[in-house]
Amino acid sequence: MISTAAVIDLADAIVSAAIGSLADLGGPDVEQAFAYDLAHAASAVATARSLLDYGAKGDSEARIACVFTADVLHDLAGKILGRETLWGVTPGALDGAAEFIAEYRNPDVIASLAESSGPLHLTDDMDMVRDTFRAFAQDVIAPHAEHVHRSNGDVPEEIISGLAELGAFGLSVPAEYGGFSEGGHDEYVAMVVATEELSRASLGIGGSLITRPEILTRALVKGGTEDQKHTWLPKLAAAEVMPAVAVTEPDYGSDVANIKVTATPAAGPNGDDGYVINGVKTWCTFGARADALALLARTDPDRSKTHKGLSLFIVPKPRGDGHGFAFTQDAVDIDGSTRVGKMEGRPIDTIGYRGMHSYEIALEDWWVPAENLVGEQDGLGRGFYYQMEGFENGRLQTAARAVGVMQAAYESALDYAQNRRVFDSNVFDYQLTRVKLGRMAAVIQASRQFSYHVATLMAKGEGATEASMVKAYVCKAAEWVTREAMQIHGGMGYAEEYSVSRLFVDARVLSIFEGADETLCLKVIARRLGA
């Protein structure tokens, strides 16, 4: 029978043919549906390929790799059936993998994976990271998770201070600026491992807490001046400053290049150089509790320059109430007129992902000193690139968050199935239940290993495309895994009595933030594949 590597090569050949066909047809802007399917197919195949080394480590690992790969090929076959011309392949392009698919989509083979998502094969150092953050997640985060979710409460301060003591906010801050990063290749993997364990306890008050500091940290390391790095990075590492990201706008969503919030030169209360910011940002997660906003604004009024006219600012703010806030500043003189700066935040109620809260924030003549422009004068018009440096890391982190949510859902479903009796048998004893759990286990391990692989690439300064691919694949997978976990619980899965209902609604946001799935597939993955 054909090997796992060979069937992945076959799938890669189909993806390559499709990339050529898409280019001939006018690209992703013309053939959007095709491009979207292709982006997800390419991401799934890349995930399968990342499992090859893992599959060589033992029998259970090999079975996980084969089961996952067979599902990827089966899904790919469904995408191309009847659309072979569009995909640039001949009918029967996957016939060579038919025996492999039949073997590893056998229900009994899949069911054999039901009770374990497989060993991780981490180094001793990474095992220590995992154990440390798992213990904190179980002891400090988990006891608050359900209450915060059901009451739409705030992140308990003990979680923030505890994570700061563990060094969670300084994982990517270079040691010379008060963090723990020394440039080793394992540091990205450590971030992924820590994020998964925190998210396993709670997405909203665990894993997501370190994402926003990571985004601003990466932007500062990329484009900040030395003074800015020495000022802000130690504060980020110690959680003295907790940031929120203010990029999305009501009218533009993921269309970052066309944002219209402006930053205009204006003297401050003491005559200091600075900018006044005007406009509205939305989906500013953690916007109330945050001590500063990493805010992307238009500094060049020529909108034809799109993303080249954007700059990134660190906008200090007071801490606000989780149910909304309103602040004012000292008056500044703008074009001979005295104006008072205003900042107002309106919470956006959401079905899940509670604790950090998302806000729509309106800024009116809100003044920031010129020294808070990331890169200062050299940073004018470069804010988009600094922000993307952070977002690429944020996408990898989002995949890690998704793995943590999936793992928690799988463990909950497995426990329920083994202890719930229906028709005189445990739910686990039914083949269909074990097949669901086995497939979940394979998807989770594949997602985890792809996250480790991308982390390794990014540590080398590579992997920008793969960071988008892992986010696209894993976050969509998380919706399916948590849905199946809820289904295994039956009616109780729909009740707030069980945590799986929280995991399900939390998972839904993963394909939306850090780049909505459609935008990510069309504007990033499909374009880069064809480049």
Q: What span, in angstroms and rounded, lies between the C-alpha atoms of 163 and 43?
A: 32
Query: Token digits for 311?
Result: 């700059």
Q: What does pLDDT average to over the chain? A: 92
Average pLDDT over residues 455-463: 90
In a domain, 83, yes or no: yes
Q: Are residues 217 and 152 in the same domain?
A: yes
Give the range of the structural domain holding residue 422, as residue numbers without chain letter. Answer: 403-530
Q: Which of 130, 193, 160, 203 is nearest to 400 (CA)?
A: 193
In a domain, 394, yes or no: no
In a domain, 481, yes or no: yes
- pLDDT digits 0-9 by tens, 59-82: 999 999 999 999 999 999 999 999
Q: What span, in angstroms and rounded, lies between the C-alpha atoms of 101 and 288?
A: 51
* Domain closes at, from 191, 217, 239: 239
CB contact set of 125 (below 8 Å; sequence gap of 6+): 186, 190
Q: Are residues 49 and 70 in the same domain?
A: yes
For residues 333 and 71, the model is more confident at 71
Q: Establish whether 514 is a catalytic residue.
A: yes
For the whole model, what pTM was predicted?
0.93
Q: Are residues 256 and 218 in the same domain?
A: no
Q: What percent of the chain has pLDDT over 70?
A: 98
Q: What span, in angstroms and rounded, lies between the C-alpha atoms of 128 and 110?
A: 31
Res. 313 pLDDT band, cuts 50 70 90: very high
In a domain, 389, yes or no: no
In a domain, 395, yes or no: no
Instruction: Return the C-alpha torsion angle 479, 410, 142, 392, nearest 10.
Output: -40
In a domain, 475, yes or no: yes
Residue 371 burial (CB < 10 Å; 0-12/13-18/19+)? Answer: middle
**Residue 302: what pLDDT?**
76
271: left (phi over 0), alpha (psi -120 to 50) or beta: left
Question: Which CATH number belongs to the domain containing residue 173 in this structure?
Answer: 1.10.540.10
Q: How many domains does the chain have?
A: 4
**Residue 257: what pLDDT?**
66
* Domain closes at, from 77, 105, 133: 105
Q: Are residues 249 and 234 in the same domain?
A: no
Q: Are residues 503 and 426 in the same domain?
A: yes
Average pLDDT over residues 188-217: 92
Most confident of 130-139, 203-212, 326-335: 130-139
- pLDDT digits 0-9 by tens, 242-268: 999 999 888 765 666 678 899 999 888
Query: Token digits for 213?
Result: 């500091």
Average pLDDT over residues 274-299: 94
**Residue 254: what pLDDT?**
60
In a domain, 116, yes or no: no
Question: How many Cβ atoms are within 10 Å of 13's Cβ, its own excluded?
Answer: 12
**Residue 259: what pLDDT?**
84
**Residue 255: what pLDDT?**
64
**Residue 294: what pLDDT?**
95
Query: Token digits for 93?
Result: 């392009």
Question: Which CATH number belongs to the domain containing residue 307 in this structure?
Answer: 2.40.110.10
* pLDDT surpasses 90 at 437: yes
Q: Are residues 149 and 261 in the same domain?
A: no
Q: Is 278 helix (H, G, I), strand (E, B) or coil?
A: strand
Least confident of 139-153, 155-169, 390-404: 390-404
Average pLDDT over residues 171-190: 85
Q: What is the DSSP string of 323-334?
A: TBEEEEEEEEEE
**Residue 275: what pLDDT?**
94
Query: Token digits for 315?
Result: 């906008």
Q: Are residues 232 and 249 in the same domain?
A: no
CB contact set of 417 (below 8 Å; sequence gap of 6+): 426, 427, 428, 433, 437, 488
Q: Are residues 96 and 146 in the same domain?
A: no
Angle at 47 between CA 43 and CA 52, to 5 degrees: 145
Q: What span, in angstroms and rounded, lies between the C-alpha atoms of 402 and 174?
A: 26
Q: What is the DSSP string of 368-429?
A: EEGGGBTTGGGGTT-HHHHHHHHHHHHHHHHHHHHHHHHHHHHHHHHHHHHH-EETTEEGGG
Q: Are residues 257 and 373 in the same domain?
A: yes
In a domain, 311, yes or no: yes
Question: Which CATH number belongs to the domain containing residue 461 in this structure?
Answer: 1.20.140.10
* Domain closes at, from 105, 135, 165: 105
Residues of 217-230 as b/e, b for ≥16 C-beta within 10 angstroms?
bbbbbbbbbeebbe
Q: Are residues 507 and 469 in the same domain?
A: yes
Q: Are residues 72 and 163 in the same domain?
A: no
Q: Is 162 helix (H, G, I), strand (E, B) or coil?
A: helix
Radius of gyration, CA atoms only, the chain: 24
Q: Which residue among the candidates 196, 344, 514, 518 is catalytic per the annotation?
A: 514
**Residue 230: what pLDDT?**
96
Q: Are residues 136 and 101 in the same domain?
A: no
